[in-house]
A and B are shown apart, each in its own frame.
Chain A
């Protein structure tokens, strides 16, 4: 049988019916799985980042073992590949890609965005990362190195971005609202509060 000649919706319908009839995957199990996956979102990763910015002990744990750090916040990691965390510094910026497909730390960031899975992103990230992130309006000082890290089926990466200026004394839950999925992949920088349109270290601080 040539599966590729079939209408994918029909193929799904047939697979769904067979798995249900054989007691392998019931509609209820599938619905439960969808609900669990929908519950994972970039808000989980953002919470980890914000706590890492405010709690040195948690930061050390997160950099040493992302999976354990996530679990310590009751984020479900069972069945997920190990999570590695890449620490951005003023001298070193990280960018995550999966050149072979779409490997992504779904437990802490949710479903990967469409562009992350695109051929253009996968091709360009390893060849011209600086030019690539410029498409998001992100510019780094020329002296800042960029390290591109390939996520794989067996190991998933997220970025611990730099804490933006102007957030001293902010509690973690407020800091978490600043952190976007793109910041944790490395195509953007966490913007200084009130300056969300810009993505540059050199961007002027807003007047208080």
Chain B
């Protein structure tokens, strides 16, 4: 019954590592960053640029250490950028230029 070695790291149902961890029930208000990333994904979805499944693929293929290091919406923006690059919606050169300007 021990599938710990086989499962993907986002597949957390029953994962032993977390079974003794308490639940942080405190309300964590979303930041402006969180809401904007969420909204961008929504707009991209509504316009057919990117699906939820593509978002998930990008999140689930993050290296395990990064998956747990990044906050929830930080994972999203990495996945969104990765998908936009993969689809050719933006190019690496354009992204590099935009990063240099920011």
Contacts and interface: CB of A to CB of B under 8 A. Distances in A.
**Is chain B found bound to chain A in the same assembly?**
yes
Interface string B45-75: 1110100110010011011001010111110
Most chain A CB within a 10 A radius of its CB, from B17, B59, B98: B98
Interface of A: 1, 3-4, 6, 8-19, 22, 24-25, 29-31, 33-34, 37-38, 79, 97, 99-102, 111, 113-115, 117-128, 132, 135-136, 150, 153
A37 B77 contact: no
Interface residues of B, number: 64
Interface in B1-47: 10-19, 21-28, 30, 33, 35-40, 42-47
B25 A16 contact: no
A8 B102 contact: no
A120 B21 contact: yes
18 contacts: A1-B95, A9-B33, A10-B99, A15-B77, A17-B102, A22-B89, A24-B49, A30-B40, A33-B38, A37-B39, A38-B35, A99-B14, A100-B11, A113-B27, A114-B27, A119-B18, A120-B21, A127-B13
B30 A111 contact: yes
A14 B18 contact: no
A115 B24 contact: yes
Closest 3 A/B residue pairs (Cβ): A99-B13, A123-B18, A14-B98
Nearest to B53: A153
Contacts, number: 169
A123 B12 contact: yes
Contact of A121 (B23, B49, B77, B101): B23
The binding surface of chain A is classed by DSSP as helix
A150 B19 CA distance: 17
Nearest to A124: B19
Given A6-B99, A101-B10, A111-B38, 13 more contacts: A8-B70, A10-B99, A10-B102, A11-B78, A11-B99, A14-B98, A18-B98, A25-B43, A79-B45, A100-B11, A115-B24, A117-B72, A135-B23
Nearest to A120: B21
A96 to B, nearest CB: 13
Nearest to B63: A4
Contact of B23 (A15, A101, A115, A153): A115
A33 B68 CA distance: 28
A154 B96 CA distance: 35
Contacts of A114: 24, 26-28
A14 to B, nearest CB: 4
A100 B44 CA distance: 22
A3 B81 contact: yes
